Structure formats: C-alpha cells, structure tokens
A and B are shown apart, each in its own frame.
Chain A
Amino acid sequence: MIPRYQKILLAVLLIASLGMGFKLWELRERAHKHLLAGESSAPTAAPVVAPAEQATLVAANDMDNSLVPQVHSLPLPADPGARARAVLGKLLDLYAAPDSTHPVPGGAASVAQVFLMPAPGTKSSGNSGDQLAVVNLTGAFAASHPSGLETESLTVLSICATLRANLPGVTEVRFLVDGQQRPSLAGHADLTRTYLTAEATPTEGNRQ
C-alpha cells in the first residue's frame, strides 16, 4: 500500500516535469522564429561608404623585375583588416587590367580575407605593434596565376610591399590559399615561409 503523501508527491513531480517540458518546447520554438526572422531581415540602414583616401600600391613590372610605388585614391575602411583587403584588391585589379605590367587574372575578388594578428615573437602586451598579416588567396587565383620564378615572386613581394606601405605595423606576411597552407603559388614562389615586409622594399629594375 503506497502512502498518500507519496502519491501526492509523485503527482506534483509529474505535473512539474510536464510543465517544464512544455516550457522548453515553447522556448525552442521562440528561438527558431528569432533565427528565421534574423536571416530574412532586410538591411535597415544604408551601408556606410568609406571616404576615399590615398593609398600606395607597390606594383610589379615583369619586364625589368621591378617593384614601383604608385599612389591611388580609393575608399578605405577604418578597420585595418578590411583596409588591407581593400588595398590588395586594388593592387590585383591593376594586375588584371589589360595593359598591366604584371598580368595576373583574378582581380580584387582573389583576396578572400586578410587577418591581422600580433607578430610571433613580439610581447603579448603588443607594445611593439608588429603585426603578422595572413593573406588568404582564392584557389582560382593560384590556379590561374602564370607560372615562373620571376612572375610569382613579384606577386608575393608586391603584396608584402603594399601591405608595408599602407600598414607600417605589418612586419610579417604569410599566405594561405582557400584557407590552407600550400607549397607554392603556381609551382615556384614558396608559400610555406613567413615573408618579412622589410625585405620586400621596392627596387629599381636591374635589367642589363
């Protein structure tokens, strides 16, 4: 014979568990509706167009193996990572132009992301300000890049020099292709190493 108080306790626990289950179901439905509402929501504010600024693009020239700084005016976001992506996109747009001195197809869309982080070896406090830029290129860009020691090296070095010219805090650059490390850009330029931007300074052509 079950005591009466136990029957009452069992009934109360049963009612409480059913109530909590119902509440949980309701919360789940509410969260799902919130998620769907967020995905379908239209922008409520117009995107802010960054003001045009002067940017230095260090452009490569295949004919004399040189890197030449050029000043261009283009909208530059305030965020350093987005800024780096914007200048590199403009640089690769120059290379994709028909009269380019360093023809490489792809254009601005070839730079998927640029991540900025404290350079390895610098103090965690970040007092030195040295930064490592990780440039994530698209696989399509690497696949369509002309193959050769000179042309691949010029692409890599011009990206490093352009980052240094516009973001002086960037001292080191690493490259990824579709988010993965890759041995070379198109069979020649080594993408496994860390490039020092100080070593990618523009040089006069050395043609004989």
Chain B
Amino acid sequence: MHWSNTLPSWVTQDSISGPPTNSSWFVGWRRPGWGVKTAVNLLAAIALSPPCFAQTPPPPAARFVIVLDAAHGGDDAGAHLDSGQFEKTVNLALSVRLRSLLAARGIQVITTREADTSVDIYQRAAIANHANAAVCLSLHASESGTGIHLFASSLQPAEPTRFMAWKTAQAAWITRSLGLAGAVNSALAHAGLSVTLGRIPLPGIESMTCPALAVEIAPQRDSDNKITAEPDTPDYQARVAASLAAAMLEWRSDPNRTEARQP
C-alpha cells in the first residue's frame, strides 16, 4: 500500500504553509462555508507542515539511579546478631539511612524493599536491571570478622553481548564493579573504617547488569580484638552510610573508572 504525496486540488497550498494564527483559527471556523473542506485543510496542514519546534530540546540529563538492596527480609531473617537484632532489620535501617543521604544529594534511589518483606534474590536483580541502575549495593550485616567487608562477584570478566545469560550477566560488568569496589574502599578507608575486599560467588548480584557490590557490616574492633561498635550501633551505621554516600558521589563523577582513587 502506497500513500500519495500529492494533495487533492481543494487543499490549498496556503493552508500547508503553517498552522493559522490563533485569531484566524478561532474566527475562521465560524465563517460560513468552512465545513469539511476546511477541516481537511487543517489536518493536512498539521500532517504535512514542518515541525513547529524552532530548535530541538536539550537531551535529558543522564540518569544516575542507585539501587539499595537491603538483604533478607520477611521469613528470611539472616544472621542473628549479638545485640539481639536480626540482620534483616539492620540491613533495612542502613538502607533507609543511606537512601536519605543520597536523596539529599539529589541522587535518585530505588530500594528493593522498604519494610520487612520477602523479596527473592532474582526479583532484586530484576528491580536493579529494570531501573537501569548505575550502581547497586546489596547491604548485609554479620557478627563475624571486623569492619566492612566488600565483595564483588567472582565471575570472570566477559564482553557484553546482546543476550546475556541470566545467572552470569554480571560478568560483563565485573570490571566496573571492581572499580566501584575501589571507590567505596577509598571512601571507607578515608573515614577511618577497616575494610576487607574479596571476590566470592554472589547469587542475585551475578544477574545484575550494573556495577554491583555486596557490603557487609561487621563489628568494629580495637587492637585487642574487642568489639567497640556493633553493626546496629547508630553512630557506626551513620559513619558507614556517610562514607558510602561520599563514594557514590565520587563514582557519579567518574562512573567508568576501573581502578581505585584516593578521595
């Protein structure tokens, strides 16, 4: 089927030079004799006239969305901390605190849960992928070890392809995830927090198509290995959240880095 570019003879060339002004527009339709023909003229004018935009609008600013994933929730309580709290509660508290800090800095944040609800690990990955996130942080807490544990996936780097396997999609992003780990490590170390880095299998995160890390808060200990702050201590959480927020701001300024840089 072909559309003809030629106009019917009763469509005047004047009418396609551009839409009428407001005055003639509203006045004209009351004129006697302006029936179907006028309506067709107007429609043709709208359809065939050049775009009315004098200039193209500026491109929208690049989205920078951070997904905060408070691990566990609902029936899955996670670790039982020495303070009596469950890990799911501590993770959610840190997520809420960090979300507020990031939102105050103008960063769009999406959380995988806002309450004590069960969310499947693959559903969490789907949320991050659907949001086209720039970063995803999976938040955990533990009674073992000390300081902050940063984990990236142990997948080997791979070239991105049009269709990626669901369980290893993170492979195309692992280099940038390691760069993100460097940025977060620098920010945490700058705040005087003890950090350990590692690469382990991370189901869920390995299905994410964005730079992604698991952040595990362990107790803060002194040189005698004595606990000075539990993962749910408010001051400790505030320091960690502030450092993570600073790292996200730093990352936003240079999201393609692959190496650590001192803040």
Contact = CB atoms under 8 A, between A and B. Distances in A.
Interface of A: 62-65, 103, 146-151, 153, 157, 186-190, 192-193, 195, 199, 205-208
Interface string B57-97: 00000000000000010001011100000010000000000
A62 B146 CA distance: 8
Interface stretch (B2-10, B102-110, B190-198): B190-198
A208 B185 contact: yes
Main secondary structure, interface of A, reads loop
A63 B201 CA distance: 20
Interface residues of B, number: 31
Contacts of A188: 140
B144 interface: yes
Nearest to B215: A149
A149 B196 contact: no
Contact of B196 (A157, A199, A205): A205
B79 A187 contact: yes
Nearest to A193: B201
B144 A146 contact: yes
A19 B200 CA distance: 71
A148 B79 contact: yes
B116 to A, nearest CB: 16
B200 A206 contact: no
Contact of B76 (A148, A157, A187, A189): A187
A175 B203 CA distance: 16
A33 B132 CA distance: 73
B214 interface: yes
Contacts of A190: 201, 203
Contacts of B195: 207-208
B149 interface: yes
Nearest to B156: A199
Contacts of B147: 207
A159 to B, nearest CB: 14
Nearest to B143: A146
Interface in B171-226: 185, 188-189, 194-198, 200-201, 203, 214, 216, 218, 225
A101 to B, nearest CB: 10
Contacts of A153: 151, 198, 200-201
Given A146-B142, A208-B188, 19 more contacts: A146-B79, A146-B144, A147-B78, A147-B80, A148-B140, A148-B142, A150-B149, A150-B196, A150-B198, A153-B198, A153-B200, A186-B79, A187-B76, A187-B78, A199-B154, A207-B147, A207-B194, A207-B196, A208-B185
